[in-house]
Structure 1
Amino acid sequence: MKSNLRLIYIVDDDPDDRQIILDAFLEKSPQIDYVFIENAETLLETLYAAEVELPALILLDLNMPGMMGLHALKEIRSNRLFSQIPVIVLTTSTLHQDRKTSYELGASCYIRKPASFTELVEITDAIVKLWLHEYQPQPSPPGGKKNMAGD
């Protein structure tokens, strides 16, 4: 299986939160594909059903009805097919133990949901730049040649 480098799964039980997160991503990254997933059980079912392409990234809420996000994270990390997918925990939890456990289970990053939409746009833009390699082209130095070590 290969990863679709332009696909993000947004896993959150709150439809308003899912839409706000999507809106924040779309502000700066409209070229990315997004799939909404309402809970951890559906996330795992979707991953197991993905026969050809996996997401480039999973944005995972922790506190959801049914299976908690931490349980899904543990299962993702224990499956060799999914273990390399970056999983970013995006949650309202302020508990130190949730952060600690998320990292112990293999979260790529733990982010508390911000209070403002502007902050969320900054966070989603950073996520795309860091994990999906959507960097803006850098201008070439004068003369048009990039100076690299060993040149």
Structure 2
Amino acid sequence: MNLDALKVVLVDDDEDDRLLFKDAIEEVDMNTNLLLFGNGQEFMDYISLSGQPLPHLVFLDLNMPVKDGIQCLTEIRSTSTLKDLSVAIYSTSSSDKDIEQTFINGANIYINKPSDFSKLKKAIKEVLKLNWQYHTSNLNRDNFLLSI
């Protein structure tokens, strides 16, 4: 594992979406290490193991079995060692209710899963290039929903 790489996690129950994301992030010209999880519980079990390096960024699907994205986000924000993680919601849902709920619960950005591979690469690149320290200090509804 490259120590200088951006540590990125994708939590998504759809295997095709995980593989597409993996292909897209590999084509984005940035130094990343990607970990994939099939649901929120798998990720929370992994991240709570002592000595695990925290990721720089977590992409979190909303609709998953076992532990969904909202439950996972709520747990992250209420855990002292995880509360400062940068969390990008990555969902097919464009419902105002879902966007509002994730904003209120402390997600950093909301991305609608692009249906097109080139748009997916563009979205991933945009999110990876964000200066998260700056972005989270200026969090508001105008910059919460990523439009690609």
| TM-score with structure 2 setting the length | 0.82
SS at match of 1:114: coil
Shift of residue 132, structure 1, vs aligned partner: 7.0
Flag the 1:67–1:95 CA change in 2: closer, same or farther, 3 A.
same
Counterpart-to-counterpart distance in 1, 2:124 and 2:57: 12
Matched, 1:55 2:44: no
Identity of aligned residues (%): 31
Letter in 2 for 1:65: P
**RMSD of the TM alignment (CA)?**
2.0
Structure number with bigger Rg: 1
Q: Which residue of 2 aligns with 1:137?
A: none
Q: Which residue of 1 aligns with 2:85?
A: 85
Counterpart-to-counterpart distance in 2, 1:126 and 1:94: 19
Structure 1 segments, 4+ long, off by >6 Å, are none
Q: Which residue of 2 aligns with 1:97?
A: 97
Q: Which residue of 2 aligns with 1:14?
A: 14
Cα deviations by residue, 1:51-90 (Å, 9 ceiling, x for unpaired): 1411011000000012111000000001110011100000
SS at match of 1:9: strand
Structure 1 portions without partners, runs of 5+: 134-151
Give the number of equivalent residue pairs. 131
1:12/1:39 contact within 8 Å kept:
yes
Q: Which residue of 2 aligns with 1:73?
A: 73
